[in-house]
Amino acid sequence: MVIAFAVIAALIVTGAAAAYEHFNGNLRTTSLTAGGGDATGDLAKPTPLTILVLGSDSRASAADCTIGGACPTGTASPSATGTAGPGNADVEMLVHLSADRTNASVTSIPRDTIVDIPQCTDQFTGKVVAAHRDRSNSTLNDGPNCTVATVHQLTGVPIDHFMVVDFSGVVQLSNAVGGVQICVSKDVYDPYSHLKLAAGNHTLKGLPALEFLRTRHGFGDGSDLGRASAQHLFLSTMMRDVQSASTLLNPVTGYQVADAATKALTVDDGLGSVDRLLQLGLQFNKIPARSTYFVTMPTVYDAQNRNVVLPGPSAAALFAKIAADQSLAPARPRPSSTPSTSPTASPSPTSTENAAPPAAATTTGCAQVSTERTVTLNGMRMTPTEAFNQSPRVPLSAP
């Protein structure tokens, strides 16, 4: 959605045919052939609209290798988001716009969720991949269609379109908006993502922005759930930045943002032009930020392996609301007509689900740094704050 706003910003301030041609040339497209269910979303009509947004960890270019690492020879590996093979989905977000455009939701599916993966055809080799059970993020290895089919089977929500964003795209987009303001609750150092920040507010762009988005062990309980919460804070702030008048009315900034956004994208054919992205952005722009809700799929830890999670008991109800085009706005408590004298009920001791209420895109706050020993430094397990204190020679990611 940030990308759609970026395109709006550039086209409003430039209005030039040359801009259309340039941005169209940036886009990469691939077909959405099957797997999204009975999707009927229409960019030009008042229908529910659902887009699966994926963040790819593929090393598709030299830039991705430099940023993401793990390219043994320093050269690009084949891409899961463009022409050929593998890459995982570091980020999976189901974005839903209501038919009347009064509300929207962004639902994160933790990448380490174990799910049933339906049979699908590898988009790069043409090989039929048998149904199996695995982490949801692994499906992007076989192409976006397999990921769409898996998420549709998991949620029951018809999926109209997909977008895939790569490493270098995140860096370029954060640079184009001049950085994204974030806050961390404590000093944090995650040796895995290399994010190192002192407690408080920071403006992140470039590589530090990517480090923040990829940090898992530093936030929450050190799992993908904490990372999802931090990503929501980052993306809601970036969304406000792109929508702001300073971006929309500045021709240089607007052009840079849209250029970075379209270069970062692989989309299905239905979104494969600037005109289509503009239509999508205009639809999303009708929805106030206060009515856009971020939520993470409720999960439970796998009893056999706490490094992965399973959909929680209340996940089905969440997805049913989205499929029925119902707002995720938290219910307002009804005032009691008479004072209650009953004792306050205690939380159920059997409740072990990881679940949090939806948060509006206007919500601000700090990413919660883990207080558990979730990182390893010099062979020792410690908290991210202890790691911060034990690594004086490691430079800060941002002042």
Looking at residue 335, its pLDDT comes to 55
Are residues 168 and 264 in contact, defined by beta-carbon separation less than 8 angstroms? yes
Question: Each residue of 229-238: pLDDT tens digit?
Answer: 898 888 888 8
10-residue stretch averages of pLDDT, the chain, 399 residues long: 55 61 90 78 89 78 48 45 60 94 94 95 92 95 94 96 84 86 97 97 94 93 88 83 67 78 88 86 84 93 90 97 95 54 33 74 82 96 98 97
- Cα 326 to Cα 107, 151, 226, 318, 323: the distances in Å are 14, 19, 26, 10, 8
- CA distance linking residue 146 with residue 36, whole number of Å: 10
Listed residue (235, 99, 233) closest to 173, CA to CA? 235
Listed residue (281, 306, 328, 334) closest to 6, CA to CA? 281
- CA distance linking residue 349 with residue 376, whole number of Å: 32
Looking at residue 75, its pLDDT comes to 44
Strand segments, DSSP code E, in the chain are 28-30, 49-56, 89-97, 104-108, 114-117, 120-121, 128-129, 132-135, 161-165, 180-184, 188-190, 195-197, 200-204, 265-268, 292-296, 299-302, 305-311, 359-360, 375-377, 380-382
Listed residue (1, 82, 93, 101) closest to 52, CA to CA? 93
Beta carbons within 10 angstroms of residue 319's beta carbon: 19
Residue 13 located in a structural domain: yes
Residue 337 located in a structural domain: no
Range of the domain at 321: 2-178+220-329+355-363
Question: Each residue of 341-375: pLDDT tens digit?
Answer: 333 333 333 347 887 777 776 666 899 999 999 99
Q: How many structural domains comprise the chain? A: 1
Looking at residue 229, its pLDDT comes to 87
Residue 394 located in a structural domain: no
Residue 132 located in a structural domain: yes
Looking at residue 373, its pLDDT comes to 95
In the numeric block, the tokens 């309980």 are attached to 221
Could you tell me the pTM of the whole model?
0.82
Looking at residue 235, its pLDDT comes to 82
Looking at residue 346, its pLDDT comes to 30
Looking at residue 267, its pLDDT comes to 92
Residue 188 located in a structural domain: no
CATH number at residue 133: 3.40.630.190
Looking at residue 347, its pLDDT comes to 32
- CA distance linking residue 297 with residue 314, whole number of Å: 9
Are residues 204 and 229 in contact, defined by beta-carbon separation less than 8 angstroms? no
Looking at residue 117, its pLDDT comes to 96
- CA distance linking residue 242 with residue 149, whole number of Å: 31
Residue 106 located in a structural domain: yes
The rounded mean pLDDT for the chain is 82
Looking at residue 82, its pLDDT comes to 42
Residue 40 located in a structural domain: yes
Token pair of 80, please?
A: 């899961």
- CA distance linking residue 181 with residue 237, whole number of Å: 7
Looking at residue 153, its pLDDT comes to 97
Residue 307 located in a structural domain: yes
